Amino acid sequence: MAKKNKFLEEDQVSAIDLVAAECERIVNEEGFSADHDDWYNQNQSLAGGAAAYILPAGFRMPVLLAPSFWPYDAETWKPNKEHPSSEDYLEGRIRELVKGTAMAIKEIERLQRLKAGTNYIPDIAANESSEDDT
């Protein structure tokens, strides 16, 4: 059980718990496993995605379009659409920061696996030669 943060209200969830839940959601709901991250993010696109969500909206103009450095398809960009004067703005901004932080953590984990030599990067040449044999 997570240690209670003395600065949170009784019904608030800590930032760490929010990010941990997002990391689990990415794997369980989106299907982006460690193997997926190792294979599809060799160009550090997780870090680019994290940066896009973490930057304040004013730095990524126009706000609702995917930033030029968004490393994925534009339709996967899901920013906070609330105006800063809206009651829901802070909740949306927290959600952006949680998504960005989770992506950064997944990039750190990918790099740790790469450093340890435990990452999953299939041998493309071996796969192509086995297909030629059929």
pLDDT digits (tens, 9 = 90+) for 6-58: 666 767 899 999 999 999 999 999 999 999 998 877 788 999 999 999 998 87
Residue 128 has pLDDT above 50, yes or no: no
Residue 98 has pLDDT above 70, yes or no: yes
What is the band of 96 on the pLDDT scale with cuts at 50, 70, 90?
very high
The model's pTM: 0.80
Domain limits, the chain: 15-118
C-alpha to C-alpha distance for 86 and 101, rounded to whole angstroms: 24
Average pLDDT, the chain: 83
For the chain, percent of residues with pLDDT exceeding 90? 46
C-alpha to C-alpha distance for 11 and 22, rounded to whole angstroms: 18
Question: Do 54 and 96 contact (CB within 8 A), yes or no?
Answer: yes
Q: Give burial (CB, 10 Å; 0-12/13-18/19+) of 77.
A: middle
Residue 124 has pLDDT above 50, yes or no: no
Q: For the residues 124-132, what does the mean pLDDT come to?
A: 46
| Confidence (pLDDT) at 50 | 95
C-alpha to C-alpha distance for 89 and 72, rounded to whole angstroms: 25
Residue 127 has pLDDT above 50, yes or no: no
Question: Do 5 and 14 contact (CB within 8 A), yes or no?
Answer: yes
Q: Which residue has the higher pLDDT, 58 or 132?
A: 58
| Confidence (pLDDT) at 133 | 52
